[in-house]
Amino acid sequence: MKTIAQVEAFLAKKRKASSPTVVFVSGVFNVLHPGHLRLLRFAKEQGDLLVVGVFSDRLALEPQIKVGERLEGVEALSWGDHAFVLDEPHPDAILRLRPQLVIKGKEWTDKPNVEEEALRQVGGRLLFSSGEFTFSAVDLMREEFKQRSAFAPSPDQDYLRRRGITSTRLQEAIGRFEGLTVLVVGDTIVDEYVFCDALGMSQEDPVLVVRPFSTERYVGGAAIVALHARKLGATVRFASVVGEDEAGGWVHGELSKEGIVPDLLLDGTRPTTLKQRYMAQGKKLLRVSQLRDHALSPDLVAKYDAALDGLLAGVDLVIFSDFNYGYLCDRVLARTLEKCRAAGIVTSADSQCSSQIGDLGRYAGVDLVTPTEREARITLHDRESGLVILAHRLQQQLHARNVILTLGKDGILIHHPRTSEPMDFETDSVPALNQAPKDPLGAGDALLVGSSLTLAAGQDVWTAGYVGSLCAAYEVSCVGNHPVSRQEIVRLLDGSIQ
């Protein structure tokens, strides 16, 4: 258990290096309740270092829980920088710690406060606040945000039997991911969720007024595709473009710490693409996209060309994750596809269309494309054909070896040509394996990676479609875009296939 002497020494060391604002809170903390959470959260917002004193059993009046357990509860919270056992009067502790702020609840505003004289001597002040609802709600919301909903995959057993897919076969395929080297090429996106407290309607305009109180940031776009592949066991390289800004540096750091080798072009003419989703009471209110979508300049294309042979050396699979924001311009795409064909590298692609912009036709000859129904219809200018004909027309136009058409809550449709004859093909479908998704964001990315890795591991498209569907089902079981790991997918397989 930490003592005040240890905290005193820590603060002295910090003050030699900088001038942090130290905030001090103390209490019994028998049972941590929402009032404590609000107060501590508020206190943390007021300075650089939050020090929490937990009354010793001697100082606390009839403590219900021993001090060690009370201290452990406070230490488990993310806000306090140092929690210690307080076994001396408040004024003495303040003179030793010399905080700039002491936070006490509102109920002490009109009462005598023994800390005042000691604070006057050290140049500090008292601040009375019990915090606000949002300060306790934010961590509950964060937990809900990260918590995955429990679900058991309920696959179509007829499909599995029809395609000869067994648990052993899937386990072996996923086990081979570790021996694969993957290059992911595409547009980097940073996804931000901005949590807000809804204040009500504006008196001037018929709009909702909100107050942001917390932000969660995630790697997105082609970068999350790279993270999926890494967490599923592959060795991963990543080629993309970012702005000369903080967000670009953050992406580089997030990928590097996961063992991914990022080759990021720096473009001073564009910011790192940032998509912000504003949320209140668990609902998405608004999405704001900060981006530039012009093609790479000739000098940046030349840098990519110069690095391409090194990026492709020893690669088994190249995944194109195209959001049509300019990185995968014609020159970059053509050169990469040309070299992949020459080297016999497996290729897969997803070209996402947030508007009428986007053309899967640029990915002619790849081994796998995984468009949504809408993206396929945009590419083909086809609003009327049935799904099977739509998938077949897309495969024929692209000369792709396989098409997986993603259908949201209806799962996927798999199309595979048996021979080069125009009408000699097979189709099959896998239902959505998670019938109660928490957030659809990232489902397509997870499916793309899972199915692509399975193909590169030597399995057929029917097995690839199932593994991809399982990855997508797991991805949508929580809010936000989180990489899916091999261990999680293997665990879901246990008991899900007869």
Q: What average pLDDT does the chain have? A: 89
Rounded Cα gap, residues 369 and 349, in angstroms: 5
Rounded Cα gap, residues 338 and 347, in angstroms: 11
- pLDDT the model gives residue 76: 80
446 close to 484: Cβ distance less than 8 angstroms? yes
Residues 6+ away with beta carbon under 8 Å from 207: 201
Q: What is the pTM of this model?
A: 0.73
- pLDDT the model gives residue 162: 92
Q: pLDDT tens digits, residue range 110-147?
A: 888 999 999 999 999 999 987 654 444 445 455 555 56
- pLDDT the model gives residue 148: 64
93 close to 16: Cβ distance less than 8 angstroms? no
- pLDDT the model gives residue 264: 97
Q: Within 13 A of 369's CA, how many CA atoms are on the CB side?
A: 29
SS3 164: coil
Q: Within 13 A of 347's CA, how many CA atoms are on the CB side?
A: 24
- pLDDT the model gives residue 420: 82
Rounded Cα gap, residues 363 and 50, in angstroms: 54
Nearest to 182 by CA among 248, 250, 228: 228
- pLDDT the model gives residue 105: 85
User: pLDDT tens per residue, the chain (498 residues)?
Assistant: 889 999 999 999 999 988 899 999 998 888 777 778 878 888 888 999 999 999 998 887 766 788 888 888 888 876 678 899 999 998 999 999 999 999 998 888 888 899 999 999 999 999 998 765 444 444 545 555 556 666 666 667 888 999 999 888 999 999 999 999 999 999 999 999 888 888 888 888 888 898 887 788 899 999 999 999 999 999 999 999 999 999 999 999 999 999 998 999 999 999 999 999 998 877 788 999 999 999 999 999 999 999 999 999 999 999 999 999 999 999 999 999 999 999 999 999 999 875 546 678 899 999 999 999 999 998 899 999 999 999 999 999 999 999 999 998 899 999 999 888 888 899 999 999 888 887 787 899 999 999 999 999 999 999 999 999 999 999 988 777 789 999 989 888 765 665
- pLDDT the model gives residue 228: 97
- pLDDT the model gives residue 370: 96
**From edge to edge, which strands make up the β-sheet containing 235-243?**
261-267, 235-243, 181-186, 317-322, 346-351, 368-369, 403-406, 412-417, 425-430
